[in-house]
Amino acid sequence: MTTNESNSTISNKQTATSPPLKLKKVYLLAWFLCALFYFYQYAVRSAPGVMQSELTAAWGENEIGSIISAYYIAYAIMALVAGVLLDRYGAHRTIPAGIVVVGVGCLIFAQGSEIAGMIGFVLQAIGAIFGFIGASYVAARYLPARMLAIFIGLTQCLGMAGAAFGSKPVHMAIDPTGSFQVPWQTVWITFGVIGFVLAIATWFVMPKDSGDSATHHGSLSIKSLVSPFKIVFGNPQSWYAGIIGGLLFVPTTIGALVWATSFLHSGENLPMSDAASIASIVPIGWVIGCPLLGYISDKMGKRKPVLIGGAIVMLVAGITAVYMPAESTIWMRYAVALILGIASGAAMIPFSMIKEANPPEVKGTAAGSMNFIVFGTTGLLSPFVSFLMGPTPDSSLTLTQFQEALLPLIGAIVVAIILSFFINETGLKKDKIKV
């Protein structure tokens, strides 16, 4: 009997929404294209973090915090819509459209004005949500249930690889003292073209399913739209998973991807090239940690030990990164960033837990709800951290001020660890009697 059968409160028999027992190549390719989309949108998402000087010069003031906040708020709200669309209409009719929207957003961002930047970035968020939710939907529907955590981890692995790609290589491309000196607008045009190519490939490969609406959601109505959310949000375990995941995400989505380069360059007086390189190591650590911790969790058949253990290591590494002595070598900074990134893979464990804690026919809605809570947390904390940083963080903040502004991100990990003791175990070995 499969994992989803044992977790379902609807039926004891295998349903159309239950995943297959064997891994099929066409479904694996479909998942890979979704994960590649996640790589692409993360590269797009992280690019403004290394364009702060260029964007400030173009817009006249530091607006990075505002557009990052707008991105995550739009991303969080759209997560709810994306989950329902996937459950109702399937991957083939939704995911390629999401990729196209990201590409259009990149082209609008390239226009150069502050308004175009805000509109373009929000459009990117609206389409980008189909990356991770789409990949996790395909993994839960078409790939073996016993491999769910590792495939979700591999998805995030590619996402973090994309974040690294959006940091160091983009900085090298636009660096006015470097060899390429590419205009920052050209980077966004290139991103747009890549998106359109990926959308076409995904359209042809993605299985032409029609979602689960006929079996589980009925005809389109207010009641049928609200019903999946009542199931997911009516489950307290969904809230535990979402809040824990959100709190474990913010040290990387806000700390590492947005402010780490400025912190290291202006606060600790490292050269910009070294600062960008160290910041890019954190997502590289995710490339290792997400599938590794997912594999360990699947192998153990338990989620909580890996979640709590990874979060504790993450806490120690985060404190060390923020309060590292000035005399520390650059190699020590690289090592701490790598450990922080690897341990941050624990943030992906709740994404498996929320699916396992809810019926299989709402897997898309569960993934969307998870992302809504996770990135809603980021959207709320981003302007708060930006406020603590001040209007011109690259030139006016001392090391102590940077450390004080980043302190809430350390506190988020502490709260996540505490909440992890209260969430229910959902792994295969949570109950050896029921099958």
pLDDT number for residue 75: 83
Percent of the chain with pLDDT over 70: 88
Is 376 in contact with 76 (CB distance < 8 Å)? yes
- pLDDT at residue 67, rounded to an integer: 80
pLDDT at 2: 39
Tell me the pLDDT band of 394, cut-offs 50, 70 and 90.
Answer: low
Q: Is residue 228 part of a domain?
A: yes
pLDDT at 215: 52
Give the number of residues written for the chain.
435
* 85 located within any domain: yes
Structural domains counted in the chain: 1
From the list 295, 385, 355, 281, the residue with the least C-alpha distance to 72 is 385
pTM: 0.71
49 burial (CB, 10 Å; 0-12 / 13-18 / 19+) is: buried
Domain that holds residue 399: 21-427
Tell me the torsion sign for CA atoms 198, 375, 289, 207.
negative
Q: How far apart are CA 148 and CA 143, in angstroms?
A: 7
Among 181-195, 313-327, 393-407, where is mean pLDDT lowest? Answer: 393-407
Structural domain contains residue 166: yes
Structure confidence at residue 8 (pLDDT):
38
Give kind and range of the element (H or E) at residue 119: helix 114-142
Q: Could you read off the pLDDT of 244-268 as tens digits, one per residue?
A: 999 998 888 788 877 888 788 878 8
State residue 13 phi and psi, 5-degree precision.
-105, 155
Residue 36 lies in a domain: yes
Percent of residues, the chain, with pLDDT higher than 90: 30
**Mean per-residue pLDDT over the chain, rounded:** 82
Q: Are 23 and 143 in contact (CB under 8 A)?
A: yes
Residue at 357 is within a domain? yes
- Report the CATH number at residue 142: 1.20.1250.20
- The reported pLDDT for the residue numbered 90 is 86
| In a domain? residue 258 | yes
DSSP sequence for 141-189: HHS-GGGHHHHHHHHHHHHHHHHHHTTHHHHHHH-TTSS----HHHHHH
| Per-residue confidence (pLDDT) for residue 9, from 0 to 100 | 36
Please identify which residue in the block is written with the tokens 């893979």.
Answer: 345
Q: Tell which wins on pLDDT, 262 or 369.
A: 369
Question: Is 118 a member of any domain?
Answer: yes
Question: What contacts 306, CB < 8 A, 6 or more positions away?
Answer: 293, 296, 297, 300, 346, 349
Kindly compute the dihedral angle of the four CA atoms of residues 326, 344, 40, 82, in this order, to the nearest 10 degrees: -140
pLDDT at 85 over 70: yes
Mean pLDDT of 419-424: 94
294-352, pLDDT tens digit by residue?
A: 889 888 888 999 999 999 999 999 999 889 887 788 899 999 999 999 999 899 899 88
Residue 8 covered by a domain: no
Q: pLDDT per residue over 117-131, tens digit each?
A: 889 999 999 999 899
